[in-house]
Structure 1
């Protein structure tokens, strides 16, 4: 009879002994697994460290943005216009009157009985604007009905006009309405000429140089915007004026000869204050990340992913050293002078907002030089960050080394596992042979015992 489990024949705990041997051998695998987990955690920690460094670099770059220092803000009292100011603007106050808004020219043809009937065949329309620009529209093979003209004209934005049909409810209700695509007199239509189609010429033909310009066309002239800035008269083809005040865009919304709009352009240091605050937060976040990745729990006697790692300490030391940056000109020459100080125990940065506000207000060029100058804080931050983050940088080198360790540990694990499996098979074969031998011996022992017992019984009966 076959033995289904080791130890059944011999009544020995061979299965348990084999499991105990397996568990003992597996200790070698557990040790390798522990090293694998440590390596994986270190790899993840390097990525976290790189992310924090990159965030600090980005915060430094934001400080260096051209719009951060000396930014301007605008305010308007009045509803005649809105204003925006770029960094090229100069702080000041302006009294602005909006006398007229710029409008677009409109041309309206006389009424036609049908909007779908053809008006002659083919033809070439030439539209000339007041600025001398001339564009043509070839109607060969196209519909010359009012609807066809609308489709053809609107399909070509270069013509400088858009078309639609207005129904005035009369006996000949359909009137073609042409509107200049831009405001101002220079965008007005100077003439419309149709060659090769006299019927269509009679409907839309127009020449502003003649009197009247067109027998069958009514005209609403374009107007230019007219404003005064501190009493200076200014004319514009559009309602958005970008060249009247350096760095300032005026968007006209309402004309009123009796209303004065007051525009104030003033310096806005909030962008710089916000950028500096974000930098301090990013720096503190980096230091916090390093602390969490390198701390050692004395009570639990447990280290973190980068406890004792020289790279993490190098990151911390190099970025801390940047805080000692010294300005080479002006009154403001240190971070402390603008209200940024470091806690001597924790290394955490804090900002004295009153001190920072005063420095930006009174010594803006000095603050800008300290932070963004050739030897300023942000350039040093970027240089150090790149040494760690570059493709051939220190963090990538550390990650590549850790990746190699993970690959080697995987090979070790597979080889050790195979060795243990082989060893266990040897143990199993040996235990199986032992079980079989002991079972046979037990069988012989039982047989001999029975025979001796029978002999004893026979002797007693004589």
Structure 2
């Protein structure tokens, strides 16, 4: 007889027994999964520590830069220019009068064309632009010698130093050529534009192209109306300064001026440069925060909950302790030839119970104000905190470094666990299939036996009844 469900024929809970066997066998998978989860937690924890070390390394590197110390802030009365300063600048005040802004040269064709697509030559042409004594040529194919094609060819070569466009003036011949030098100042102005046939043996008529774009600053002719380029001019403490650009660097050492408008005649603006210790203070506090964050993360990842009797991802991990101790040692190993030998002397103390750094901002401000060079030596010197901390941090986070090697090993372990899980799962599936087949056979056999038993019982009962009838 057909068996629709295991155990029906035998009258036994074979399905439940199979489920119980599966649950028992799956314990091996659960153990592998638990171990994989633990290993994955270690991998994630190493990634967190690495990110924190990199943040500390970045903060330490900032303390090794010259511009972090002795920075200056700028202040300008008026809106004729803006200014920025580097640490090379000298604190003080400067009287600055912008007398002229730099501008670009523009050349506008004196007459327009009715058709911007009309070919102007019966062959290809070479158009040469001379700017600042350098000549560069753009070649225009025969089928592109229209006003539109010439503009496209000019704009297609970024090295020419000039941009072209077409202006529609609304007249009967509205299309006019406008050329603009890409840079400001007299040296960036177009000196000449010459036209020649690309193939000199072909007898190409280039007169209309010459009439459109030919130009010589020494003899302007009538092709273009020019708005001449001009240099920026200004007075710095009554000293005349001239520039090709409206951005002027190092006219005052370490200062960049960006001119925006001309001053009223005889009414200069005042540029003030004053010390900006906040740059150093911010860098120091950023470093302290990054250091404390790293120490706090390591403490959390290596802690042990006594009440719950449960560890964290890196409880007892030697690499985490190595990071913690070497980072701390880097602070103590730093050396300085200045007045400050330790950070505590400038207001940065270490809590002996947890190793956390604390900043006394008033004491730090006083150190920055009166002993900036000594602060710089401790942080940015050859054997200073920046160099020591960056060296230690790099050993942990660089490619092929300590953490990289550890994570590679963990990744390999996870791959092995995955293979082990899959092979164990396959083994369990095969075993359960064997159990299922055996139970099916048992169920079928029991069903047959029950059927025979019922038949015999029925026959014996009938024989007993026959005897009674006699």
Q: TM-score range by the shorter chain?
A: 0.7 to 0.9
Q: Is 1:347 aligned with 2:348?
A: no
**What is the match of residue 77 of structure 2?**
77
1:191 to partner: Cα distance: 5.3
**What is the match of residue 302 of structure 1?**
310
User: Secondary structure at 1:84's aligned position in 2?
Assistant: strand
CA contact (8 A) 2:339 2:374 kept: yes
1:204 to partner: Cα distance: 6.7
1:42 to partner: Cα distance: 1.9
- The root-mean-square deviation of aligned C-alpha atoms, in Å, is 4.5
- Which residues in structure 2 correspond to 1:260-275 (within 5 Å)? 260-275=268-283
Cα displacement string for residues 300-352 of structure 1 (whole angstroms, at most 9, x for unaligned residues): 11111111112212221221222324433111111112222222222222211
**Stretch moving more, 269-278 or 186-195:** 186-195
1:75 to partner: Cα distance: 1.6
**What is the match of residue 256 of structure 2?**
249
User: Secondary structure at 1:306's aligned position in 2?
Assistant: coil
Distance 2:130 2:121 in 1: 22
User: Secondary structure at 1:93's aligned position in 2?
Assistant: strand
Sort the Cα spacing of 1:402 and 1:216 in 2 relative to 1 into closer, same or farther, 3 A.
Answer: closer
User: Secondary structure at 1:64's aligned position in 2?
Assistant: coil
1:12 to partner: Cα distance: 6.2
2:241 to 225, 234, 243: 234
**Stretch moving more, 351-360 or 200-209:** 200-209
**What is the match of residue 402 of structure 2?**
394
The TM-score with structure 2 as length reference comes to 0.77
1:93 to partner: Cα distance: 1.2
Distance 1:232 1:265 in 2: 19
Distance 2:194 2:38 in 1: 84
Distance 1:119 1:232 in 2: 52
Please tell me whether Structure 1 or Structure 2 has the larger radius of gyration of its CA atoms. 1
Distance 1:290 1:3 in 2: 62
Distance 1:45 1:456 in 2: 84
Distance 1:446 1:140 in 2: 107
1:37 to partner: Cα distance: 2.2
1:330 to 326, 334, 338: 338
Cα displacement string for residues 118-155 of structure 1 (whole angstroms, at most 9, x for unaligned residues): 878777766555x5445566678377776666566555
Distance 2:147 2:419 in 1: 81
